[in-house]
C-alpha cells in the first residue's frame, strides 16, 4: 500500500499526480464557469454544487468524514485518492450499499444483494473489502431473506475503516493539501473583492 510520496512506486506516483492535476483543473474551471466542458467524471459534480462554492466545499472536507461523504465533489476526490492506494473497493462498496437501500422491488433487492455479496463480501471476491469472518458470515445469513438493512453491519465496519485509516491520509496527502491551499486562496480572494466595482467604460 502506498503511504507517502517518497515510497510510491512509479505507477502509484503517476496516479497521485493525475489526481492532483485533474482536481486542480476542476477547481480552476469551476471557478471560471460552470459551462466549461471536458473535465470527465468531475464535471457533473460541479453542476450539482448549488449551495456552496467548490472552494468552500473543498475546505469543508476536513471538518468531518460525514461532510466528505455528503459532498459529490468530496466522494469523487476521495475515490481518486483511494485509487492511488489501491483501496477504492471500500468506498465503492459503501456507495453500492447506499444505492441498494433505495431499491423498493423485493425481486430486484434480492438480485442486487447477491450481486453486491459476490462482488465485495465473499472470500476472494474481485473487490473484496476488509471485514472480519463473523461479519462476512452474518451478511451471508442475511441474504437468505434480503432486506435493505442486510449489509448494514458490513457497511458500518467498512465506513469506520475508511474514517480511521484512509480519511486521515487523504487529508494529509499532497494532492488534497495543495487543493485546499488553492481553495483557501480563491475563497479569500473572493471575500476580499468588492461586490460592485466601478465600470471602466
Confidence bin at 190 (pLDDT 50/70/90): low
**pLDDT tens digit sequence for 89-98:** 999 999 999 9
Q: Is residue 62 predicted with pLDDT exceeding 70?
A: yes
Give the residue among 184, 160, 171, 4 at the shortest CA–CA distance from 74. 171
Q: What is the model's pTM?
A: 0.70
Q: Does some domain include residue 112?
A: yes
- CATH number of residue 114's parent domain: 1.10.167.10
Whether 77 contacts 49, CB under 8 Å? no
CATH assignment of the domain containing 19:
1.10.196.10
Q: Classify residue 196: in a domain, yes or no.
A: no
Q: Once rounded to an integer, what is the mean pLDDT over residues 47-62? A: 73
| Whether the predicted pLDDT of 42 surpasses 90 | no
Amino acid at each position: 500500500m502506498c503511504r507517502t510520496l517518497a515510497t510510491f512506486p512509479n505507477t502509484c506516483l503517476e496516479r497521485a499526480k493525475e489526481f492532483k492535476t485533474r482536481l486542480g483543473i476542476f477547481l480552476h474551471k469551476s471557478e471560471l464557469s460552470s459551462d466549461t466542458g471536458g473535465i470527465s467524471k468531475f464535471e457533473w459534480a460541479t453542476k450539482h454544487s448549488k449551495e456552496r462554492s467548490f472552494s468552500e466545499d473543498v475546505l469543508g472536507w476536513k471538518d468531518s468524514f460525514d461532510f466528505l461523504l455528503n459532498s459529490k465533489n468530496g466522494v469523487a476526490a476521495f475515490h481518486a485518492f483511494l485509487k492511488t492506494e489501491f483501496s477504492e473497493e471500500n468506498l465503492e462498496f459503501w456507495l453500492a450499499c447506499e444505492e441498494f437501500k433505495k431499491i423498493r422491488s423485493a425481486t430486484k433487492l434480492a438480485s442486487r444483494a447477491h450481486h453486491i455479496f459476490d462482488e465485495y463480501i465473499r472470500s476472494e471476491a474481485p473487490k473484496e473489502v476488509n471485514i472480519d469472518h463473523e461479519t462476512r458470515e452474518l451478511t451471508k445469513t442475511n441474504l437468505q431473506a434480503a432486506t435493505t438493512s442486510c449489509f448494514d453491519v458490513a457497511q458500518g465496519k467498512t465506513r469506520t475503516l475508511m474514517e480511521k485509516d484512509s480519511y486521515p491520509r487523504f487529508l494529509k496527502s499532497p494532492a488534497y493539501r495543495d487543493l485546499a491551499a488553492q481553495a483557501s486562496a480563491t475563497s479569500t480572494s473572493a471575500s476580499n473583492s468588492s461586490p460592485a466595482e466601478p465600470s471602466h467604460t
